[in-house]
Structure 1
């Protein structure tokens, strides 16, 4: 009868598996619907159109209808920002021309004499910006191990500390930091200190730092959130209205904004975020378990493995992980590492990560070459450390490719 559920749907509706723990819609639903309402577009387009206009007609001088100039605001960018905010359970989201563009814009919330406390194993580009650019502006940075003993963060805070920068899991060593404990300690020390979490590796699908007390969440949208290796973009999400007003002004004033076409591509990529992340995790966990038992592998680092030193924290603050695996080859020799990478057929040797294709790199001489050598040694970013971004190919093909390359790397044959 009309208005009644079919038998299968009645069963599903009563099944515990289908009952949401909290009210509201799921991330899969939000990624498809929030900010995408057809009613907001002429002709009620189901897919948000790309508005390439740089400027917009004003009905009278100084009184724009909705937008005035695309650096200040753009309808395609706005629908993406609304969608992104919903995925992170944030009130506000702002997008930028790159992840570092987002970071640089945020830095203008600081002033000369301020102090940043950053996790030690931070993305190479972030560390380079802090060490070589912000230092010239009079902003001091300290790089701290936040993973081993989160409570030690208090020892590194100063009256001039304005920002605590957390990246978890880290790049490339996949260390975890206890977001809730660190933010609680920092805000107890000084509520005015801003806490930011770089959530690029986990994505909004597997971790939501704002719910754990962070003030800001940053993503390199270039990676998993877009997922197709065809856009460079970044975003910052937050709940604090005052922070949003400050950062929104800086977005407008500095101008590191993305193009409408790139916003369209990221918006499209978000629609498959959930299914992609599940597959990335499934394949990566299978590969990590395989490598953990391999005779040519010294150590595998993957938060979803019970051997990970912070496995319990992983279960507490994350609901899963992505396709990122780091590993050490036995012997820790750059020659073996290079031979391994050279023989891979399906894994492309390239920087970046999080796309549908599998990538592999040597952080010591690629993504983290800008990290001072002494600091790399302290962290464990050695010549034998390899970072893998597991893509969406058939996992059996990826395992065969890895096995073949390992046999080649450790063989006595010197022929290419």
Structure 2
């Protein structure tokens, strides 16, 4: 038996009791009110306010007193929400309206009507979140989903089954291609063949003002009221309307059970927004038509029902009262689209629409990114598509802003003969873009890229992080450097100076190209590695590398994997990649992550996947890595792209990395990382305001087995859970306190150093109890403690590796030198460095941005000099060092390899101005 439902909770309105006044007399009949009047007039005859308030009050209460009143608990019913639901039903030609916490929540309660084995017919151009939820119920509930082209109503017929088809899910116009579905015809055909099927329409793009699908045969209509119904992006809400009592009863039961009904305050805000719906939409539609006409006349492919050429326009005019305020257009090139989107000022970049402010986005990168690239391609969703959501600003300002972005990106150019702007062919547009510097005449000559990335230290939380405790990691100003030099002989080579001077090269045609599935520009690497490619490279490209050269083999695999998976079909730019490091390799300081960041950056640059902006003119002749002097020239988008591919590289090297090391290597500074546990959310978060600190890193030169150490802690926890859990809780407290003091801008410097010193000592003692220290590390600790009184702890896995010693500001140079000498006598290797500095660095290729007052090194002037007719490389046996002729072709490579270890950073810094994250 169906549950008894409060009609106020449903927003029930008698189907024909729309507020159309009855005639006052036969001689003077009253005309029905217009939609804008209905929107502005919030009246519910069954719920009169006792004080006659002109605005519906907010009943901000969870419960109501009494046992027989209309309302008892706001989850089940609230007067403010009841007013809202009555109002929405009124303007939607609906008998019932239900309001919930978001548009996706609305779809969720609708899909709960389905059961395992049911079949759903859905459009092939749906909002990304809709597609994601449908995929979930297909996977976990056992519902069959058929995606079809709903612009052709006949395409649904083969999938309609009287016994199995339970629901048909439609959008018209669709998001973001503005495809038109004949809602009336589809509803009729489905009902004839499957009478029990429920027709559901997402009407968010139109709102009830422009389209009321219930009038065309739909059973359920839902809107993301976050969009046009609200209009101001100051709330989240979803609306469900229907005319069938049985469906309304079921939906109300679900909402009451789940508890996702709209809150009183959001109900009030939504009521207020609806009052101006018609007014806003009229302005937005009019401007959208102007923008669509403008882009169409320029020559772009524009998707908008207001254009005479738009497919399905006649159907749309029959079922809708307007064309809406969303349009999309194609540029022919994804990189060009990115420049246009990034070049606007009035158009805010956002995944949403329906606001009074104009918005711009690239659906494949933003709102529809959850749909995998292959599916997007199969459904005809262009990667270069730009979506415009028009607001209420002055249309001339919007057009002017858009035009400027198109010009700056090189998408349009002035035709002098016609005295107007015209569309530039996509293949030529990028070469005209002023800010695409790496493709213009000067940058095309740039043949050598020098990149660098820092190592990292774990300041607090080692080992405990495996069990859910927060770890604090920071960059260390010891760096890996990589040099990529383009070649013209169809060969690739890698030179790893710090791994026994390893060198190897490959003929590009000999690589297993039949095993690779390239990742197109703009797409992300899947969660899992391409094992087919890994195996093919291991068997065919790396088989000659000796088994005892494990580290070199792993680094070579990363190099080839990224190179191949980033390559476009038949477009294989070849280059030499050379690495050096001022960072001790294998000492637990993130050397593999800094290498991963360098090789990922080099591969992305060579494959033209990332671009570098011009630097602003510097204000000083000196550039300090730690402070950046306010310049972070590598954009966040570029840094994120590099970090994604650095993580892929780390997966190849380590299998299941946390992502901490590569994130520090790319972004620099400090971050807190946690896995689920100890009441903490998992994930990484940068520590804002981190202050650069002076540390002495001491390499014990003792190798360690990280997996064995981690397993040992796990075994100890299993055998002595009370002891180990207590230690973990203590380390969590240390990490929390360290994070607080590191981010406290008002904490005096001496207090900061004192607090960190005490926390380091305490943290190390806990690690000793866990059994992960080593006699060599304890010797280092004793040398720094007596007579110097410094705090030292292990970092990383322990069991050897490195120790970190905090150096106070007042610690004298002579005293520091004595300490360093004492450590060297014990055959340790100390490094004086700073923690918390710059992330990824790229040597600027732009001559205008070389360091003022510092003449570039002679070799820097020759960075663009691989000869036009190169001397072919001689065939070099695997593992052999490059010959003199080989080095002569790469003018920056010889001095790069020759610079003394202690002077490598200084040498690199003198080449010119570096761009940093």
Normalising by the residue count of structure 1, what TM-score does the alignment of the two structures yield? Answer: 0.90
Preserved CA contact (<8 Å) 1:105 1:256 = no
Query: What is the distance in 1 between the residues matched to 2:203 and 2:433?
Result: 42
Query: What is the distance in 2 between the residues matched to 1:160 and 1:42?
Result: 51
Decide whether aligned partners of structure 1 residues 25 and 134 sit closer, same or farther in structure 2, where only a CA change above 3 A counts: farther
**Cross-structure match for 1:206:** 210
**Cross-structure match for 1:54:** 62
The equivalent position to 1:193 in structure 2, one of 186, 191, 197, is 197
Alignment of 1:313-352 (within 5 A): 313-329=315-331, 332-352=332-352
The equivalent position to 1:26 in structure 2, one of 23, 34, 46, is 34
**Cross-structure match for 2:238:** 234
User: 1:24 Cα deviation (Å)?
Assistant: 3.7
Preserved CA contact (<8 Å) 2:165 2:194 = no
Preserved CA contact (<8 Å) 1:304 1:314 = no
Which deviates more from structure 2 when the two are superposed, residues 169-178 or residues 107-116? 107-116
User: 1:39 Cα deviation (Å)?
Assistant: 6.8
Query: What is the distance in 2 between the residues matched to 1:145 and 1:52?
Result: 45
**Cross-structure match for 1:412:** 433
Preserved CA contact (<8 Å) 1:38 1:45 = no
User: 1:379 Cα deviation (Å)?
Assistant: 2.5
Unpaired segments of 5 or more residues in structure 2? Answer: 1-28, 411-431, 438-612, 614-917
Query: What is the distance in 2 between the residues matched to 1:35 and 1:246?
Result: 26
User: 1:195 Cα deviation (Å)?
Assistant: 0.1
SS in structure 1 opposite 2:145?
strand
**Cross-structure match for 2:170:** 166
User: 1:152 Cα deviation (Å)?
Assistant: 2.4
Higher relative contact order (CA closer than 8 Å, sequence separation 6+):
1
**Rg bigger for which structure?**
2
Preserved CA contact (<8 Å) 2:207 2:229 = yes
User: 1:343 Cα deviation (Å)?
Assistant: 0.9
Preserved CA contact (<8 Å) 2:182 2:316 = no
The equivalent position to 2:134 in structure 1, one of 130, 134, 138, is 130
Decide whether aligned partners of structure 1 residues 333 and 209 sit closer, same or farther in structure 2, where only a CA change above 3 A counts: same
Which deviates more from structure 2 when the two are superposed, residues 84-93 or residues 23-32? 23-32
Query: What is the distance in 2 between the residues matched to 1:185 and 1:315?
Result: 20
Query: What is the distance in 1 between the residues matched to 2:334 and 2:130?
Result: 25
Preserved CA contact (<8 Å) 2:127 2:175 = yes
Query: What is the distance in 1 between the residues matched to 2:254 and 2:349?
Result: 36
User: 1:35 Cα deviation (Å)?
Assistant: 3.5
Preserved CA contact (<8 Å) 2:160 2:194 = no
User: 1:399 Cα deviation (Å)?
Assistant: 0.5
Decide whether aligned partners of structure 1 residues 46 and 39 sit closer, same or farther in structure 2, where only a CA change above 3 A counts: farther
**Cross-structure match for 2:155:** 152
User: 1:38 Cα deviation (Å)?
Assistant: 11
Query: What is the distance in 2 between the residues matched to 1:286 and 1:112?
Result: 48
Cα deviation 1:262-321 (Å, max 9, x = unaligned): 1111100000001111111100001100100114x2x00100110101111121111102
Query: What is the distance in 1 between the residues matched to 2:45 and 2:62?
Result: 23
User: How many residues matched?
Assistant: 387
User: 1:151 Cα deviation (Å)?
Assistant: 2.2
User: 1:88 Cα deviation (Å)?
Assistant: 0.8
Query: What is the distance in 2 between the residues matched to 1:110 and 1:322?
Result: 31
Decide whether aligned partners of structure 1 residues 71 and 318 sit closer, same or farther in structure 2, where only a CA change above 3 A counts: same
SS in structure 1 opposite 2:364?
helix
User: 1:29 Cα deviation (Å)?
Assistant: 1.9
Query: What is the distance in 2 between the residues matched to 1:129 and 1:381?
Result: 19
The equivalent position to 1:117 in structure 2, one of 121, 128, 151, is 121
CA root-mean-square deviation:
1.6
**Cross-structure match for 1:12:** none
SS in structure 2 opposite 1:236?
strand
The equivalent position to 2:50 in structure 1, one of 42, 53, 72, is 42
User: 1:378 Cα deviation (Å)?
Assistant: 2.3
User: 1:165 Cα deviation (Å)?
Assistant: 0.3
**Cross-structure match for 1:257:** 261
Preserved CA contact (<8 Å) 1:350 1:361 = yes
User: 1:41 Cα deviation (Å)?
Assistant: 1.5
Query: What is the distance in 2 between the residues matched to 1:409 and 1:64?
Result: 66
SS in structure 2 opposite 1:363?
coil
Unpaired segments of 5 or more residues in structure 1? Answer: 1-18
Cα deviation 1:313-337 (Å, max 9, x = unaligned): 12111110221010001xx222111
Normalising by the residue count of structure 2, what TM-score does the alignment of the two structures yield? Answer: 0.41
Query: What is the distance in 2 between the residues matched to 1:38 and 1:129?
Result: 37
Query: What is the distance in 2 between the residues matched to 1:379 and 1:354?
Result: 25
**Cross-structure match for 1:306:** 308
Query: What is the distance in 2 between the residues matched to 1:65 and 1:101?
Result: 28
Query: What is the distance in 1 between the residues matched to 2:265 and 2:52?
Result: 19
1:66 aligns with 2:70: yes
Query: What is the distance in 2 between the residues matched to 1:365 and 1:133?
Result: 24
Cα deviation 1:384-412 (Å, max 9, x = unaligned): 10001011000000000111000111133
User: 1:26 Cα deviation (Å)?
Assistant: 2.3
User: 1:228 Cα deviation (Å)?
Assistant: 0.4
SS in structure 2 opposite 1:95?
strand
Query: What is the distance in 2 between the residues matched to 1:409 and 1:398?
Result: 17
Preserved CA contact (<8 Å) 1:344 1:401 = yes
User: 1:134 Cα deviation (Å)?
Assistant: 4.2
Query: What is the distance in 1 between the residues matched to 2:358 and 2:137?
Result: 32
Cα deviation 1:209-262 (Å, max 9, x = unaligned): 111111011100000111001111101100111111111111111111111111
**Cross-structure match for 1:219:** 223
Preserved CA contact (<8 Å) 2:221 2:242 = yes
SS in structure 2 opposite 1:293?
helix
**Cross-structure match for 2:568:** none
User: 1:153 Cα deviation (Å)?
Assistant: 1.1
Cα deviation 1:42-93 (Å, max 9, x = unaligned): 31111001001100011xxxx4311010000000100000110111110100
**Cross-structure match for 2:107:** 103
Query: What is the distance in 1 between the residues matched to 2:359 and 2:148?
Result: 29
Cα deviation 1:329-367 (Å, max 9, x = unaligned): 1xx222111111111010011110000000000111100
Query: What is the distance in 2 between the residues matched to 1:321 and 1:70?
Result: 38
Preserved CA contact (<8 Å) 1:100 1:125 = yes
Query: What is the distance in 2 between the residues matched to 1:382 and 1:307?
Result: 19
